[in-house]
Structure 1
Amino acid sequence: MNPETFYPLFLQSSKITIDSRKIEKNDIFFAFSGENFNAATLAEDAINKGAFAVIVEQREFENKQRKIYYVPSTLEFLQQLATYHRNQLKIPVIALTGSNGKTTTKEIIHAVLSQKFNVQYTFGNLNNHIGVPLTLLSIKPEHEMAVIEMGANHQKEIELLCKIAQPNFGYITNFGKAHLEGFGGFEGVIKGKSELYDDLKSNGQTILVNENDPIQFEKTENYSPKITFGKEGSDYFFEEFSKDNFVGLSFNGNKAQSKLTGNYNFTNLCAAASLGFHFGLEFAQIRAAIQNYTPTNMRSQILEKNGKTFVLDTYNANPSSMAESLKNFSKFEGSKTIIIGDMLELGTESEVEHQSILELANSMGFDEIITVGKHFKNVNKSSQAFENSAALSEYLQSEKISSKNVLLKASRGIALEKALEFIN
């Protein structure tokens, strides 16, 4: 079985699934097996549930009469099928990656472009070697463009994802201290993320550039085609403003107020607006998208509860994003408590980076600093250092946080949002 032969069957199906528990009628089930589980054993059951076809990587489970097909690798076949499907599409594919803000930026870009186009985009955080193919394979004939988020924690990942998705446009949100362990330090981050630039350049495709970012500027200097924003001489120039802790952008005197906090989100708004203008949207359409977009994914999400303002940013954290969150939160009016959790995947740099963040927090005059996680506990010798979110939750059941504003920021593995229900 090869992608070209299988493609007509794919076109007859409803969608691709890799979760046997979520199989619906007319789905194609890719039986991914783990170390302790052979998903191919579920092939017949999947067909009985209504699956249109099943892909397995154990030949003994093949049954062509029941549309159960053998391939040497379900993962490689998924990727190959996605690329084959991509090659049939005649729509723009926009790829984005970066150390911070890529998911929020993806969401805003989708919101903006959807004012004019039928846009398919990465759902949730499906941005890896499995998620990108699944997103591509979810593109239907009615879609007019696609926005594909690409995540990576080591080099050559973005290169692979670009080969699969073959983007026409690309944007790197920033280069930060994320996944230092996998990338081999900050220079490794720059090299790994820049694989998107390498792919776009080699294929003569368009790069979106924030000209206020010196790395982006240097790596795309003298390259064409590109779309630029950030400076007065750029293709698009926006001015920042804020109201009630929310950031907005102004373009030629016209304003768009978002429901996002932090000047780092101003850059994300600018990227989306620039693409909107490039694809022919009016400012009124861009403004409507920005004003109506409400973050609900634990990224820069502002909540009001019991007279307090909470900034919930617990989906991801690294030294770069943590520092920006603290700087932004320090500008809030009124008393402020920060609850910050461990930043993961920092390797040998972990202790020094956690120490640096703690020192930064102590210099900002917050009313209360609470840390969660083993890495912070190693450097924070106060009584406000907790081993995990469960220990923090137990503490909060008897101790009250009196501050008007509360920031919760941590890597996903800390699950810091669980403590929210115990803060009165």
Structure 2
Amino acid sequence: MSGMEWRLEEMLAAAHLDAEFIGDQRALAQEVRGVSIDSRRIAPGEVFFAIKGERFDGHDFVNAAFERRALAVVVRRDWWQEHHREFTGWNVIVADSTLRSLQKVARAYRRRIAAEVLALTGTNGKTTTKEMIARVMAAELAVQKTAGNLNNHIGVPLTLLAMRPPLDLAVVEMGANHFNEIATLCAIAEPTAGLITNIGRGHTEFFHNILGVRKAKRELFEYLASNGICFVNIDDENVVRAAEDAEINQQVTYGFRQGAQIRGRNLQLNADGCAEFVCDSQKFVIGTPGLHNAGNALAAVAVGIHYGIPLSQAAEALAEPITTGGRMRKVEIAGRVFIDDAYNANPESMRAALEFLGNLSATGRRFAVLGDMLELGRESVTAHAEALQLAASQGADKIYVYGPEMHRAVERVQKAIQNVEWFQKKEPIAERLHAESVSGDVILVKGSRGMQMEEVISRFEQKVVAEARG
């Protein structure tokens, strides 16, 4: 990666850090090659920020960062008072908060690169929509985007600091599970445009209910209300309400309903389980499976139209599948088709996945392997029971579930649903699938990130390999 074209002294001045530089004054004139919080990956000439997380404290790796020839390290003031004798002769930036310093530096760099920033959030589809938008926009513009799902108070600053010119548009994903987090991320990234994919029952343990979720997501539109462009999904009533409550001045509406400025028509699911629709006489065949991805794709189309991307180029870009791991990824193993949607789950995304399973053309049986949906609070038991009922109504021949919340749901519905079975561990699920499934069967695997349901697929594959070896 090229350097930031930013001298260390410029970085410190632009970020207005309440910090003290200790070290070789000549280092201040050197170019900052990049920024890192991972001492294992830091490259020579980069600045290391010692961030304290839930499991690790970056201060424990300051020496490792210097061994890898970091230009300087940013440390917390109280830590430095205790450890300064150990690092005599090194370039150290001492600050009250290393996290806040990282965020300030990221905001200063965002202003320096002076590109347009499109921020997007939502309960579901953030990463897939981000990838679709970036792909559509890359047809005509220099675009960079959030890597993976680095969408929180640390990930957004790192996303901004990883960007390099030439750059026309930065596509920045923002996630939140508490109030005011989106507002904080907006203050760092200073977006010029924003999009909320949808608003559903995600993180209700912290947001309490759908109204709380809407309030939290609305923070993006509120930031842009007076001086930004908001892309509004009119197929989602909560997004529409968020836009109304934020009193936004400039909006571009999209959806499949009548009245959308960018409207999709003739929506259908093809034999491959992919959505097809028409927008202004241009046919779109979306390469990423699932009817719910039609809305994500139409969001990308709306953004593309606003920035001048021809519809034909948008259609070509969206015809290629988004292969981000754990998001509706098809994997064939020993003739079985796994639908790996294990990256995350909440009630709305669970519904979309189960409806996809029900609509998918299959020669064999349908298996639903479902893990807990986390952070649902008081709605948890009801939401999990509804997921099991939906799996049965969508024609799942076998429903294998894992996790304490699924266990509670099974106890509630087991009299009505005979083909559901709870497992205490994931290994027996893989064993049961190996024993009972056959070539031609379709197996959906889904659950919240903390459940790591993709392990079922990997363990199934291990059993197939072991069987082949005899």
CA distance in 1, matches of 2:29, 2:275: 44
Q: What is the deviation of 1:127?
A: 0.3
> Compared with structure 1, are the counterparts of its residues 37 and 241 closer, same or farther at alpha carbon in structure 2 (3 Å cutoff)?
closer
Q: What is the aligned residue count?
A: 423
Maintained 8 Å contact 1:389/1:414: no
Match of 2:427 in 1: 390
Asked if 2 retains the 8 angstrom alpha-carbon contact of 1:374 and 1:388, the reply is no
Q: Which residue does 2:241 correspond to in 1?
A: 218
Q: Judging changes above 3 Å, is the alpha-carbon distance between structure 1 residues 38 and 169 closer, same or farther for their aligned structure 2 residues?
A: closer
Quick check: 1:47 aligned with 2:75? no
Partner of 1:406: 443
Paired position in structure 1 for 2:4: none
Check 1:76–1:404 CA distance in 2 against 1; reply closer, same or farther (3 A cut).
same
Give 3-state SS (helix, strand or coil) of 2:263's partner: coil
Partner of 2:24: none
TM-score, normalised to structure 2, is: 0.84
The corresponding residue for 1:84 is: 108
1:228 paired with 2:253, answer yes
Q: What TM-score, normalized to structure 1?
A: 0.92
Question: CA 1:98–1:38 in 2, change beyond 3 Å: closer, same or farther?
Answer: closer
Distance in 1 separating the partners of 2:29 and 2:46: 9
RMSD, aligned α-carbons: 2.4
- Of the three residues 6, 10, 13, the one matched with 1:5 is 13
Q: Which moved more, 1:333-342 or 1:309-318?
A: 333-342
Q: Note if contact 1:97-1:193 (Cα within 8 Å) is conserved in structure 2.
A: yes
Q: Is contact 1:241–1:250 with CA below 8 Å preserved after alignment? A: no
1:27 pairs with 2:46: yes
> Which of the pair has more CA radius of gyration?
2
Q: Structure 1 residue 366: deviation in Å?
A: 1.9
42-51 or 148-157, which deviates more: 42-51
What does 1:260-275 correspond to in 2, within 5 Å? 260-275=288-303
Relative to structure 1, is the Cα distance of residues 276 and 36 closer, same or farther in structure 2, using a 3 angstrom cutoff?
closer
Are 1:314 and 2:338 counterparts?
Answer: no
- 8 Å contact from structure 1 (residues 3, 80) kept in 2: no
Q: Is 1:238 aligned to residue 238 of structure 2?
A: no
Return the offset for 1:396: 3.6
Take 1:404 and 1:288, find their aligned partners in 2: how far apart are those partners? 31
Secondary structure at the aligned position of 1:194 is classed as: helix
| Identity across matched positions, percent | 35
> 1:119, 1:146 within 8 Å by CA — same for their partners in 2?
yes
Deviation at 1:232, TM superposition (A): 4.2
Partner of 2:373: 343
Cα contact 1:4–1:84 (8 A) shared by 2: no
Q: Which stretch has the larger CA shift, 293-302 or 336-345? A: 293-302
Cα displacement string for residues 275-300 of structure 1 (whole angstroms, at most 9, x for unaligned residues): 11111111221122111243232111
Quick one: distance in 2 between partners of 1:224 and 1:6? 31
Q: Which moved more, 1:292-301 or 1:170-179?
A: 292-301
The offset of 1:403, in angstroms, is 5.8
- Does the 8 Å CA contact 1:105/1:271 hold for their aligned counterparts? yes
Number of the residue aligned with 2:6: none
Alpha-carbon spacing, 1:293–1:9, altered in 2? closer, same or farther (3 Å): farther
Long gaps (5+) in structure 1: none
Corresponding position of 1:15: 34
The match for 1:353 is 383
Deviation at residue 226 of structure 1 after TM alignment:
1.0
Contact 2:445 2:453 in 1 (8 A): yes
